[in-house]
Structure 1
Amino acid sequence: MKSQTSDCIKIPPGFWAGLHQLGIDAYDLARKARLPLTISSEPIVTSAQYFAIWQAYSDLIGETAKGIIKLATVFETAKYPPTVLATYHARDYRDALNRMARYKQLCPPEVLRITEAGELCTIELEWLHIEEPGPPMLIGITLACLLELGRRGTGQPLTARSVEFSHAMGDVQVLEAYFGCPIRIGGKYNRLTLDRRDLDRPFVSYNEELLEILTPALNRSLDDQQRSRSTAEMVKWILKRSLSGGRLDIHAVAMELSMSDRTLQRRLTDENTSFKHLLTQARHEQAREYLADPTIDIKEVAFLIGYEDQNSFYRAFRLWEGDTPSNWRTEHAGTNC
């Protein structure tokens, strides 16, 4: 969703230092990515440039799985930017992950969605720009760094319960040895599943004084960024992330935005819209996107946009498009919808 964030991504200096430790010169990577050779001294890049950098690293390192593990483990904690550094000094693993998910909003294009249920904690990686999924190397690095965060913070050799990738990631055995669990390739999601009990583990690197310095500054930056977006945009973005999870009421969305139901309703009214209208828009837009993908069954489309039964979805879709989902899919096959 390009309307929600400026297309500006900060690359920390530690990234280039990590590449240097792996024997990769910044100039070589820039040439491979077909970017200016000054890219390492200009920390702000676009999403397209960001993805090109990660693809170039993947090409230069040669093997995706080994490249993931090498960079995730060689990166020095002290060289992380403040948004990430704060997570390494959190109170415990849960606090660290929640901070990571929150502050990720300051550095798109990836988004982390954390769900705790039963004995498991699942972290899904999503993209703000759905039509531009990140390269496999970036996906793998992101999930590996989440586990690395827990290992370094707790000082314990934590393992995952399972890991799922939507695309091929190279040598699966290398990844299974690192994550300590089975790796599934070719799934619908990119996600890391942890033992929920591990989230209670305290961080040996907990630093209350440092957090008191970093947290207010990061929260102000996040608040400034959020104020630059319309409330309607933020609500619809949250709804699209939550359609299949059952969190479709205004109270849940208001909580995620750290405001009361009444305040959210008032702001939406001021923007000449309503929660119900935005929910309908979110479902309609996501339905079109999912139906444009012939690999997704129509029954699954209904579930993915929050309908408990297929008939309700069919009725709604007829109101939106004046046609059935199957006819719409046939008519729009092969087109960019």
Structure 2
Amino acid sequence: MPGRLALKLEELEVPVARVLRQAGLPLDLFQQARVLVDTEELFALWRAIGQISKDPAIGLKLGTENRTERFHPSGIAALSTESFGAAIDHMARYKQLTCPEEMLHESDEEEWRIRFRWTLAVEEEPTTLTEYCFAWIQTIARHGSGTRITPLRLELVQPRTHIRLLERHFGCQVATGASQNAIVFRAADRNCPFVTRNAELLDMLAPQFDEELRQRTEDSFTELVLGAIQHRLTGHRPAVEDVARDLHMSSRTLQRKLQEAGSSYQRVLDEARHQMARYYLGNSVLELNEAAYLLGFEDSNSFVRAFRTWEGIPPGQWRETHRNTKVN
């Protein structure tokens, strides 16, 4: 998550601490060097923004930006492309560098549809987040082209009480009850040239994004293995053969691909246990010996030793500290 989101919330007089408390997130979240959340936490944050703000236009305001210096590097690179269509192609290609989300777009002779799909979501995305994403698309289009490009229509799955506000902002018809959230432009808008085009800047940024994308692809496999291990962490230590079978590959192939990604099965197993240990201690009333059993440790003493290695303190002390942080 971009740390500048907290700055914009404060500028719009939305109390960041109240938002984080409402979302059940750490109060120092935006003070961290890298602000990392999972999809469930991200959705909780955006729901909290809508609830605390009380402003139905808050998503639109957060997604609208006129100061280029506040753009994410990928946004600056998108503005450096030759056209609106090229900008969307760029954003779609590198979207996975920031979150597990796909940016999908398709066109025919008359219309060009752009939509987002959260690949790890198990619930409907918050309405505020949907409006933020579409407002950001419009920001890129208008800033890059130097014109007031307007969509043909906005298609939304969930109902809204502020339809007129959305229609004024986007300058088009807004329809709810759709099968997918989408912003629809004219097919010709794909070719709209960008006055912000900067080929030299793009040539400088693109290789960096490509290298990050290559690294992320390797990291994605590690995350895939981690998820498979966590799925099997139900009272025993998952064997590499079992995890490999779940992923439809041989154990040798699994270990080779982890090695290529700079990791190993034991390292990913430790990380899987570490993550689950934090979850059990922070979000449940499990006793330490019960958590140890679920994580596949032989006894609670083995669990305590492992947890000290991960966090530097015993699990009981970590739990109390975490509870106190949530209360405060």
Task: Tell me which interval the TM-score lies in, with the shorter structure as reference length.
Answer: 0.5 to 0.7
| Alignment match of 2:93 (pick from 85, 89, 102) | 102
Question: TM-score normalised to the size of structure 2?
Answer: 0.64
| Alignment match of 1:187 (pick from 174, 178, 185) | 178
- 8 Å CA contact 1:18–1:75 kept in 2: the answer is no
- Residue matched to 1:324: none
Cα offset, 1:104, TM superposition: 0.9
- Residue matched to 1:171: 162
- 8 Å CA contact 2:19–2:45 kept in 1: the answer is yes
- 8 Å CA contact 2:63–2:136 kept in 1: the answer is yes
| Alignment match of 1:55 (pick from 47, 61, 80) | 47
In structure 2, C-alpha distance between the alignment counterparts of 1:38 and 1:26, rounded to whole Å: 10
The aligned amino acid for 1:16 is A
Cα offset, 1:163, TM superposition: 0.9
Cα offset, 1:75, TM superposition: 6.5
- Residue matched to 1:44: 36
- Residue matched to 1:25: 15
Cα offset, 1:69, TM superposition: 2.1
Cα offset, 1:197, TM superposition: 1.3
In structure 2, C-alpha distance between the alignment counterparts of 1:161 and 1:100, rounded to whole Å: 21
In structure 1, C-alpha distance between the alignment counterparts of 2:198 and 2:106, rounded to whole Å: 26
Superposition pairs of residues 154-303 of structure 1, within 5 angstroms: 154-229=145-220
- Residue matched to 2:25: 35
Task: Show CA shifts across 1:283-321 (max 9, x none).
Answer: xxxxxxxxxxxxxxxxxxxxxxxxxxxxxxxxxxxxxxx
Secondary structure of 2:159's aligned partner? coil
Superposition pairs of residues 104-143 of structure 1, within 5 angstroms: 104-143=95-134
Distance 1:74 1:87, change over 3 A: closer
> Aligned Cα RMSD in Å?
2.2
The aligned amino acid for 1:52 is A
In structure 1, C-alpha distance between the alignment counterparts of 2:89 and 2:187, rounded to whole Å: 13
Q: Which runs of 5+ in 1 are unaligned?
A: 1-10, 234-267, 273-337
Cα offset, 1:85, TM superposition: 2.5
Cα offset, 1:77, TM superposition: 3.1
- 8 Å CA contact 2:63–2:132 kept in 1: the answer is yes
Question: TM-score normalised to the size of structure 1?
Answer: 0.62
- 8 Å CA contact 1:63–1:170 kept in 2: the answer is no
- 8 Å CA contact 2:39–2:121 kept in 1: the answer is no
Aligned pairs, how many?
225
Q: Percent identity?
A: 26
Cα offset, 1:88, TM superposition: 2.1
In structure 1, C-alpha distance between the alignment counterparts of 2:18 and 2:67, rounded to whole Å: 22
- Residue matched to 1:329: none
Distance 1:45 1:130, change over 3 A: closer
Q: Which runs of 5+ in 2 are unaligned?
A: 225-248, 255-328
In structure 1, C-alpha distance between the alignment counterparts of 2:66 and 2:9, rounded to whole Å: 9
- 8 Å CA contact 1:14–1:75 kept in 2: the answer is no
In structure 1, C-alpha distance between the alignment counterparts of 2:253 and 2:20, rounded to whole Å: 43
In structure 2, C-alpha distance between the alignment counterparts of 1:119 and 1:52, rounded to whole Å: 37
Cα offset, 1:89, TM superposition: 2.0
